[in-house]
Amino acid sequence: MGSGGQRGVAHDPGSQRPESLESPGSPRPPPPPPRHGPGALPGPAVPALPRRLHLRQEERHPLRAAPRGAAQSVAILLYLNRKYKVPDHWYPQDLQACARVDEYLAWQHTTLRRNCLRALWHKVMFPVFLGEPVSPEMLAATLAELDATLQLLEDKFLQNKAFLTGPHISLADLIAITELMHPVGAGCQIFEGRPKLAAWRRRVEAAVGEDLFQEAHEVILKAKDSPPADPIIKQKLMPRVLAMIQ
Amino acid sequence: MGLELYLDLLSQPCRAVYIFAKRNGIPFELRPVEIFRGQLLSKDFSQINSLCKVPALKDGDFILSESTAILIYLSCKYPTADHWYPSNLQARARIHEYLGWHADCVRGTFGAPLWIQVLAPLIGVHLPEEKVQRNRAAIDRALQQLEDKFLRDQAFLTGQDVTLADLMALEELIQPVAVGFDLFEGRPKLAAWRERLEAFLGTDLCQETHGLILNILEQAANKKIPDPAPEIYPYMLLRISRIP
């Protein structure tokens, strides 16, 4: 496997990050020339942002996310981020700023992502799509867990910052907002009574662009209108869904 | 004060961080934290990491949690060989691809046998056989995928060189082994991978890192495991309830 041929233009943090690295014996290659701005190479402008959200198409429909395990969207986003010259704030060069994004991306997997998916499935997808009732106690427990996670999101990550890991939007915010659209699509009013989170959401939407944001979430926001699944599909999906939302 | 690592070697992600730091000669102060004595919830520790989790890293004023983030930070900050977290875009993407699957299918699943056999009984909880079997089946499925989708005919999980992915996987796989579930038996490919990896890391380092966990059954038998502190009962009960 090699992307060696692209090194001249690829945005490769491996060659730029170690300002603090002490390795006197091994000089690092010079950073690649920028693709935008002063000193940029000619070439097609890469619309990095639309690519990010379009490549998350697999998440647009909860069904498609189910078998694949949407965790791969992190790997895909990181790949895109490095391959195309995108603004630094998405996944900063700075070691500590980048570590904050890594920390969020790791934390969210078993917390926010899990609870958002459970809320979607317990509130809407099981009863409406799969025709499987969910007890009020189970639903209440799921929504309570989601609530607790949202509190952690605000208290430990967002705090008084504009975005989750600092003053600028990053991949952390992108991953977070797309997960939060699952319970929103299920009709949960998660931003009600959470003005801080609601303000953050507005900032993220503004940074992404409202039209693009709507487009990316069009399908998930209609989750509760899903027609019932055909029995054969239901049978195939059930074990995978159950495994996904444990 | 230099780099500090807050670790409990009973925990899989803690061991991955420990073994990485040691293998790469990264100087650090070990701050042992004993989860089951409730030390995660102590005032001192929650000032270090308000998320109350280990592993945690403290580098001057910079505090970081999550083993993946810590491993990446260490591999970038200190002079470590490129293969751990390669600068090659596609090689690096393979590691993240593995870590995504690992978070879904390995994390949680491979920790369950220790909970079922040793930790839950400490607070009087005994899980039904149905859950034990379901967990075994999940472990088997994950091992099959590990071999078929990741390891395949390669020396290591994402290619011919050892990476962070291998460390994360090894420490999770050791966990059930520690309670007598020899998941390498009948899986020669995986057993060979483990041997290669442990040879690369060094026998002494592996023994040092794995000593505590591999001794857990003996400790339990001799009633040497301290009773869990009451303040962590909620955490334990929550964790147990997550076993499907």
Average confidence (pLDDT) over B179-204: 97
User: Is the pLDDT reported for residue B244 higher than 50?
Assistant: yes
CB contact under 8 A, B76 and A156: no
The string of pLDDT tens digits covering residues B108-123 is 999 999 999 999 999 9
Nearest CB among A4, A10, A99 relative to B73 is that of A99
Contact A32, A9 (CB under 8 A): yes
- For residue A191, which amino acid is it? F
ipTM of the complex: 0.94
Query: What average pLDDT score do residues B147-169 get?
Result: 97
The answer to whether A180 and A149 have CB atoms below 8 angstroms apart is no
If pLDDT is split at 50, 70 and 90, which confidence band does A149 have?
A: very high
Query: Quick one: how far is CA A36 from the chain centroid?
Result: 25
- Per-residue confidence (pLDDT) for residue A131, from 0 to 100: 85
- pLDDT score of B14: 98
CB contact under 8 A, B69 and A99: yes
Contact between residue B9 and residue B22 where contact means Cβ atoms under 8 Å apart: no
Tell me which residue of B161, B160, B154, B162 sits closest to B190, measured CA to CA.
B154
Q: How far is A190 from chain B (nearest CA, A)?
A: 22
Q: What is the pLDDT of residue A4?
A: 29
- pLDDT (mean) for B141-145: 96
Confidence category of residue A148, pLDDT binned at 50, 70, 90: very high
Distance from CA of A22 to the nearest CA of B (A): 6
Higher pLDDT, A44 or A183: A183
* 3-class state of residue B179 by DSSP: coil
Is the pLDDT higher at A21 or at B134?
A: B134
Residue B105 clears pLDDT 80, i.e. is over it: yes
More confident residue, B3 or A15: B3
Instruction: Report pLDDT for B129.
Output: 96
Query: Could you tell me the sign of the dihedral formed by the alpha carbons of B194, B197, B200, B205, in that order?
Result: negative
pTM over 0.95: no
Chain B: nearest CA to A41, how far in angstroms?
A: 20
Confidence at A241, pLDDT banded by 50, 70, 90: confident
Q: In angstroms, what separates the C-alpha of B77 from chain A's closest C-alpha?
A: 6
- A 30-89 residues with CB < 8 A to B: 69, 71-72, 74-75, 78-79, 82-83
Q: Confidence band (pLDDT; 50, 70, 90) for A193?
A: very high
Q: Minimal Cα–Cα distance from B204 to chain A, Å?
A: 27
pLDDT higher than 90, residue A224: no
Q: What is the mean pLDDT of residues B28-42?
A: 88
3-state SS, residue B159: strand
Closest Cβ–Cβ partner in A78, A95, A107 for B77? A95
Closest-CA residue in chain A for B49?
A156
- CA pair distance A64, A56, nearest whole angstrom: 11
Which among A3, A98, A152 is the nearest to B89, CB-wise?
A: A3
| d(C-alpha B154, C-alpha B172), whole Å | 20
In DSSP notation, A23-64 reads: -TTSPPPPPPPPSSSTTPPPS----HHHHHHHTTHHHHSHHH
**Three-state DSSP state, B110:** coil
| Residue A13: predicted pLDDT | 40
**Given this model, what pLDDT does residue B12 score?**
97
* Chain A contact for B235 (CB, 8 A cutoff): no
Looking at the predicted structure, is the pLDDT value of residue A79 above 60? yes
CA distance B233 to B36: 9
| Cα dihedral A161, A162, A168, A170 sign | positive
Show the tokens assigned to B203.
């026998």
A152 vs A129: CA distance, rounded Å: 30
* Best of B72, B74, B87, B239 to mutate (most A CBs within 10 Å, chain A): B87
Condensed to tens digits (0 to 9), the pLDDT of residues A24-73 reads 444 454 555 444 444 444 333 333 344 444 444 444 443 443 334 456 78
CB count within 10 Å of CB B181 equals 18
Higher pLDDT, A246 or B70: B70
